[in-house]
A and B are shown apart, each in its own frame.
Chain A
Amino acid sequence: MKFYQPTTLKQALKVLANEDDARCLAGGATLVAMMNANLLAPSALVSLSAVKGLAGITRRKNGSVTIGAMTRHQAVADTAALDGGQRLVREAAALIGHPAIRNMGTIGGSISHADPAADYPTALVTANATVTIENSRAKREIDAQNFFTGYLETALEPGDIVVAVSIPAGVAGAGSAYEKFARVQGDFATVSAGVVLALEKGVCRHARIAVGGCAATPIRVAAAEAKLVGSRLQDSAVAAAGVLLAAACDPIDDFRGSSEYRLMILPTILARAVSKARVRAETVS
């Protein structure tokens, strides 16, 4: 195994283009655990720790927030830059693992691994985030929703690096929330839900929902969002949205919960997230 410590993105991309089966080492929280378990033995590690410009959170004039791929979970959890419809992203970051994991793990590493029970995928799909990807030949952007293509699968091709995630300002006056149910604190989600809402005189005029831990990727259902828009977010409307989402999910059975159990609690977790996001949207508007 070789070890590379590039100091520029260009150098890192060149190594990845030339090394078969090299892996980027971001925070190590997932990659090193897999190496320790003998699940993975890359031909080379390309450490991104010394690459300039990959870490940091920038709020732009248009209200969008760009988070560099090497930004640690704790930095996202602590940032004041994410507010309104973006707030659920920092709420999700604060629920990832434990303090030591949040000091190590990065947003780029987390989404590249693409565990559907992880917190960022669901939060970023809800927030309509864009993922910026670069390789030695080109740079491209892709919606978070299209980035996650399957269980631990993404739109990344060999030689690609996630360089940043951008969260748009979104709808003015929106409130958002990320709700997770896990059997123990800091665990991956049994079920999670992200919600962005905007209200006008108590009537919902915008809704975006994604649920996690219930399928190979975060799940969005346009018809479920449509159930909320135009409603006063009464229990029956939220329950109807939950039913539509559950119908689109296909959870696995594992030690975090059976498929049946996940589908049973999904509407409750969604209702909690809607309730929180609603209070926040009412405070804003």
Chain B
Amino acid sequence: MTTTVPITLTINGALHQAFVQPWHTLLHVLRDVLHFTGTKRGCNQGICGACSVIVDGEVVRGCLSIAANCQGRTITTIEGLANGNTLSNVQQAFLELGAVQCGYCMPGMIIAATALLKRTPKPTEEEIREGLSGNLCRCSGYVKVVRAVQVASERGTS
């Protein structure tokens, strides 16, 4: 017997409904059901951080979150950071500093950096490296990422 679970999620400020299976992850529902494809699937094991999203104010792994368990939660994905055509501070800093290489890890990096600055608005370099330690860049381009987070931090939140 399989149970289909109806869920309602607030994603980037708007309500969305979906019918999910118990084994469906939030990542699957975001990408393949609701088409928020900015959030990436990397390892699907919670290691790489490409699927990072903010749920009820905290950064989590989309691939390890069971969608049926997310009923009623408030989710921010990479698509929800910009205000119209105005990028968030973190996005703008990543852009200006050329922190993006192939780009695949970037949605997760930017989400993790946004969550880090919310918890620690003025992080040290070590705190930035620790805060992003769960986000792997296979281009290994970490130096400019760290610098971009420093620049975003200097400019203040959001």
B25 touches A25 (CB 8 A): no
B63 adjacent to chain A (CB < 8 Å): yes
SS of B interface (majority): mixed
A2 touches B134 (CB 8 A): no
B65 touches A32 (CB 8 A): yes
Nearest chain A residue, comparing its CB with the CB of B136: A184
B66 touches A28 (CB 8 A): yes
B30 adjacent to chain A (CB < 8 Å): no
Q: How far is the CA of A32 from the CA of B66 in the complex (A)?
A: 7
A2 touches B22 (CB 8 A): yes
Q: How far is the CA of A32 from the CA of B1 in the complex (A)?
A: 20
Which of A27, A45, A100 lies in contact with B52, CB distance below 8 A? Answer: A100
B86 adjacent to chain A (CB < 8 Å): no
A100 touches B66 (CB 8 A): no
Task: Tell me whether A104 and B3 are in contact in the complex, defined as CB-CB below 8 angstroms, given that A1-B23, A99-B116, A186-B133 are known contacts.
Answer: no
Task: Tell me whether A104 and B68 are in contact in the complex, defined as CB-CB below 8 angstroms, given that A32-B25, A97-B134 are known contacts.
Answer: no
Task: Tell me whether A25 and B69 are in contact in the complex, defined as CB-CB below 8 angstroms, given that A2-B22, A35-B23, A45-B22 are known contacts.
Answer: yes
| Interface positions of B from 50 to 86, Cβ below 8 Å from A | 52, 58-61, 63-66, 68-69, 71
A47 adjacent to chain B (CB < 8 Å): yes
Q: How far is the CB of B39 from chain A (nearest CB, A)?
A: 13
Interface size in chain A (residues, C-beta < 8 A)? 27
Q: Fill in one digit per residue for A1-23: 1 if any B CB lies within 8 Å of its CB, else 0.
A: 11101000000000000000000
Apart from A2-B3, A37-B45, what are 19 other A-B pairs with CB-CB below 8 Å? A2-B1, A2-B22, A3-B5, A3-B68, A32-B25, A32-B46, A32-B63, A33-B46, A44-B22, A45-B66, A97-B134, A99-B131, A99-B133, A99-B134, A100-B59, A100-B61, A103-B58, A104-B65, A185-B129
Tell me the B residues contacting A by CB distance below 8 Å.
1-3, 5, 21-23, 25, 44-46, 49, 52, 58-61, 63-66, 68-69, 71, 112, 115-116, 129-131, 133-135
Selected A-B contacts with CB under 8 Å, 27 pairs: A1-B2, A1-B3, A1-B21, A1-B22, A1-B23, A2-B1, A2-B3, A28-B69, A29-B46, A32-B25, A33-B45, A36-B44, A37-B44, A41-B23, A44-B22, A45-B23, A47-B66, A47-B69, A97-B46, A99-B130, A99-B134, A100-B46, A100-B52, A100-B59, A100-B61, A101-B46, A104-B60
